[in-house]
Amino acid sequence: MNGFHIGAFFNAFIYAMLGIIIFVVSFIIADRLTPHHLWGEIVEGKNMALAIMVGFMSLGVCIIIAAAVH
């Protein structure tokens, strides 16, 4: 137990939860700003191009959040 610090674990957990919450909020905002319902277009409409675009947008937002939190 010498290398494990409970405070560092809780800090990492809090930052991870904060990053996930910010990501979900950013996806909801992006969904509201687009003319179509993104999730419906991807799942029901099988729009592969939109799925790839949203995936890359999600990766970009996650990288920005990780850099800001770190």
Sequence-distant (6+) residues with CB within 8 A of 18 are 69
Q: What does the pLDDT read at residue 57? A: 86
Positions of the chain with pLDDT lower than 70, given as ranges: 1-2, 69-70
Q: What does the pLDDT read at residue 54? A: 87
Q: What does the pLDDT read at residue 49? A: 92
Q: What are the extents of the domains in the chain?
A: 6-69
Q: Is the pTM of this model over 0.85?
A: no
Sequence-distant (6+) residues with CB within 8 A of 44 are none
Q: What does the pLDDT read at residue 48? A: 94
